[in-house]
Amino acid sequence: MTAVVLDGKACAAEVEAEVSAQVAELAEAGVHPHLAVVIVGDDPASHIYVSGKERACARVGIRSTRIDLPADTDFSRVVSTVEELNANDDVHGILVQSPLPKGMDELAVTDLIDPAKDVDGFHPSNLGRLVQGRVDGMVPCTPAGIVHLLNWGGVELSGKRAVVIGRSRIVGTPVSLLLARKGVDSTVSVAHSRTADLAGLCRQADILVAAVGRAELVRADWVKPGAAVIDVGVNRVDDDSERGYHLAGDVHPEVSAVAGTISPVPGGVGPMTIAMLMRNTVRAAFNQSK
């Protein structure tokens, strides 16, 4: 058996087409969605991610402003930047690219962002809504993208056993909440670095989400035949190529021979994350225009 590939690019293109139409409708009402992205320091991967977000904004007609701050920026400058963006009625969405330079308190920055403009969905009030089973706030982009991709691929979630590897506040925890919420109705286990017999737990999963950050951790004998496997990991693996590295997911390529459905890296969850960011930004603009 070879797994059906969940084409995140194709699915994201559909979401972006919907977002473009919403942007056009808002424009008719005189509202021009505007995303501000703050990036602190020179982490190369972060710069690649931010460029990808800017390109997506251009594709769907969202205005984007990028604020580059040097790595040695004072924390108070990051705080004042966010406060200025909060107060600016012309800006509908604010994203502070993670990771911040060592020593900067990311949670403190997250807490500062106006929840209505928190397009990443990490503010306690947005994550808190998710705990309440509500999706009327800003839902974190990668988790929302994962569930959207599973639905798009026709993967049955209700009553199914889901295992999420990873418990981060960015991916693992919110995706487990989304999968377990009423109406989606998966039965979810959250695994992490202290989980005993991880392979045995994973083998029980109808839906396996790997959000770990360990290249090719999930092997074929961890996967129930026919399971849907979502690979969230993006890992740099050094090699002899001209570039000196390639990207690998958290799921070993051999899993394709066992799984029923699988999301590739790249081209799976990555494009979905960006599409959901576009969706959140338009939603934020709409809500703020009311």
Which residues are identified as catalytic? 53, 97, 120
What whole-number distance in Å separates Cα of residue 201 and Cα of residue 223? 9
Closest to ligand NAD by CB, 177 vs 211, is 211
**8 contributes a contact to ligand NAD by CB under 6 A:** no
Q: Is 24:62 a contact under the CB 8 Å cutoff?
A: no
Task: Give the sheet arrangement for strand 187-191, strand by strand.
Answer: 4-5, 261-262, 228-231, 207-210, 161-165, 187-191
Q: Which residue is associated with the tokens 């800006």? A: 91
**269 contributes a contact to ligand NAD by CB under 6 A:** yes
What whole-number distance in Å separates Cα of residue 169 and Cα of residue 208? 18
Please name which of 264, 282, 232, 267 lies closest in space to residue 59, comparing C-alpha atoms. Answer: 282
Q: Is 113:96 a contact under the CB 8 Å cutoff?
A: yes
Closest to ligand NAD by CB, 124 vs 267, is 267
Closest to ligand NAD by CB, 26 vs 275, is 275
**198 contributes a contact to ligand NAD by CB under 6 A:** yes
Closest to ligand NAD by CB, 26 vs 153, is 153
**Residues 6 or more apart in contact with residue 220 via CB below 8 angstroms:** 252, 254, 255, 257, 258
CB of 208 to ligand NAD, least distance (A): 12
**What tokens does 72 get?**
């040695």
**234 contributes a contact to ligand NAD by CB under 6 A:** yes
Site for ligand NAD (CB under 6 A): which residue of 213, 219, 287, 288? 213
What whole-number distance in Å separates Cα of residue 171 and Cα of residue 56? 21
Q: Which residues face 247 on adjacent strands?
A: 236
Closest to ligand NAD by CB, 32 vs 219, is 219
- Stretch of 84-92, 149-157, 229-237, 255-263 lying at the interface with ligand NAD (CB under 6 A): 229-237
CA 104 to chain centre: 22
Q: Of all residues in the chain, what percent are helix, strand and coil, respectively (each to 5)?
A: 45, 20, 40
CB of 87 to ligand NAD, least distance (A): 29
Report which residue's Cβ sits closest to ligand NAD. 168
Under rule CB under 6 A, how many of the chain's residues touch ligand NAD? 24
Query: For ligand NAD, what does the binding mask look like between residues 13 and 42, x meaning CB under 6 A?
Result: ------------------------------
**101 contributes a contact to ligand NAD by CB under 6 A:** no
Closest to ligand NAD by CB, 91 vs 130, is 130
CB of 190 to ligand NAD, least distance (A): 8
CA 84 to chain centre: 25
**276 contributes a contact to ligand NAD by CB under 6 A:** no
What whole-number distance in Å separates Cα of residue 86 and Cα of residue 56? 22
Query: For ligand NAD, what does the binding mask look like between residues 142 and 171, x meaning CB under 6 A?
Result: x----------------------xxxx-xx
Q: Is 165:194 a contact under the CB 8 Å cutoff?
A: no
Q: Which residues bind ligand NAD (CB under 6 A)?
A: 142, 165-168, 170-172, 191-193, 195, 198, 211-214, 232-235, 269-270, 273
